[in-house]
Amino acid sequence: MSILDIPPIPLSSWKELPYQYQIWLGRIWYALTKQFSKTSLTFDFPNILAGAISTTTATVPNTAVGDTVLITPSTALEAGLVVYGYVSAVNTVTLVANNPTAAAINPASRTYYITVIKA
């Protein structure tokens, strides 16, 4: 049996504990060994010219350079806009809005949900 043969786990099977997650497989709870930090930031990126980027920072406790950052916007992004993040300093995540298109994009104000997975 490979990992691809395992059926999807319903979200109701996940348990959230402070900075730790567990998953139910069969009859056993398995602890996921990675630690998580979460926060959210409501921000209105300025008009971003073609081929340019805009950045902002958010404070996320218990993070360090090298941790993995996941950014989830509260609403759909404008066509062509790419948003990503990285830990730029201890407890600081930098969000980057990248416009790789040939026209300017003026992103709407929205909330960005930030999840950091410890390295």
Instruction: Name the DSSP letter for residue 105.
Output: B
* CB burial of residue 48 (10 Å; 0-12, 13-18, 19+): buried
pLDDT digits (tens, 9 = 90+) for 58-108: 999 989 999 989 999 999 999 999 999 999 999 999 999 999 999 999 999
Residue 51: give the domain boundaries.
36-117
Domain identity same for 51 and 9 = no
Give CA–CA dist 91/41, Å, rounded: 14
How far is 62 from 90, CA to CA, in rounded Å? 8
Residue 35 to residues 16, 64, 67, 114, Cα–Cα distance (Å): 11, 12, 10, 14
Q: Answer whether residue 5 shows pLDDT above 90.
A: no
Task: Report the number of distinct structural domains present in the chain.
Answer: 2
For the question of whether the overall pTM of this predicted structure is more than 0.85, the answer is no
The yes-or-no verdict on residue 55 having pLDDT over 70 is yes
In this structure, are 62 and 101 located in the same domain? yes
For 23-45, how does the pLDDT look when each residue is reduced to its tens digit (9 = 90+)? 566 666 656 656 788 899 999 99
